């Protein structure tokens, strides 16, 4: 019965969309045993963006996060109530999650792929703290989580990305 359940789960068309299939050889002119043939569902990767395209795309991706972060900072410095701070922290968490997804889904030029992966990794580490800030029950706890998230700001990766894409260095004044 367990084998039937496992077989039933693994044959679900949604879960069973393989990216490649093994094809046994029928004759000597066919592929050798074990050769992987792409599935008809496999789609080729999109061509990498040019540096100019990548620069514009990068700025579009990071802008919402930077704006949300600046608004949270201003709300904290302005002494806004906890409910406002939690809402702002939630917006940072949401825009950070979107930023991570969009960074991962973009066909970056080879030169910036490493720094982009570093930024994604740092943003992912920060995400836990943004969620905790959004759920904080006290102002001090929220501020502590914001500080914890700030440890994963990705500045080294951001600097490399901006330099490789020929962008000016980040200035938070641009987002206020």
Question: CA-CA distance, 41 to 118, in Å (whole number)?
Answer: 30
Neighbour-count burial of 111, counting CB atoms closer than 10 A to its CB (0-12 exposed, 13-18 middle, 19+ buried): middle
Mean pLDDT of the chain: 82
The verdict on residue 17 lying in a domain is no
Question: CA-CA distance, 63 to 41, in Å (whole number)?
Answer: 34
Q: Is the pLDDT at 136 greater than 50, yes or no?
A: yes
Alpha helices in 11-109 (DSSP H): 51-77, 82-104
The verdict on residue 128 lying in a domain is yes
Domain that holds residue 106: 51-168
The verdict on residue 32 lying in a domain is no
The verdict on residue 138 lying in a domain is yes
The verdict on residue 20 lying in a domain is no
The verdict on residue 125 lying in a domain is yes
**Domain total for the chain?**
1
The verdict on residue 67 lying in a domain is yes
Q: Is the pLDDT at 7 greater than 60, yes or no?
A: no
Q: What is the pLDDT of residue 167?
A: 95
This prediction's pTM: 0.72
| 24 vs 5, residue with greater confidence | 24
Q: Name the pLDDT band for 91 (thresholds 50, 70, 90).
A: very high
Cross-strand pairs, 36? 22
How confident is the model over 32-71, as pLDDT tens digits?
Answer: 444 445 555 666 778 999 999 999 999 999 999 999 999 9
């Amino acid at each position: 019965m367990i084998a039937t359940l496992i077989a039933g789960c693994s044959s679900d068309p949604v879960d069973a969309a393989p990216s490649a299939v093994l094809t046994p050889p029928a004759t000597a002119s066919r592929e050798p045993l074990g050769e992987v043939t792409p599935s008809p569902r496999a789609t080729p990767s999109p061509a990498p963006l040019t540096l100019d395209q990548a620069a514009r795309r990068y700025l579009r991706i990071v802008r919402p996060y930077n704006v949300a972060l600046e608004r949270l900072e201003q709300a904290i410095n302005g002494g806004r109530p906890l409910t406002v701070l939690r809402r702002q922290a939630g917006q940072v968490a949401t825009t950070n999650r979107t930023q991570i997804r969009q960074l991962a889904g973009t066909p970056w030029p080879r030169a910036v792929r490493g720094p982009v992966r570093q930024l994604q990794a740092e943003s992912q580490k920060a995400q836990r703290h943004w969620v905790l800030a959004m759920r904080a029950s006290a102002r001090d706890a929220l501020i502590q989580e914001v500080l914890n998230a700030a440890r994963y700001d990705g500045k080294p990766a951001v600097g490399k990305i901006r330099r490789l894409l020929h962008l000016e260095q980040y200035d938070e004044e641009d987002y206020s």
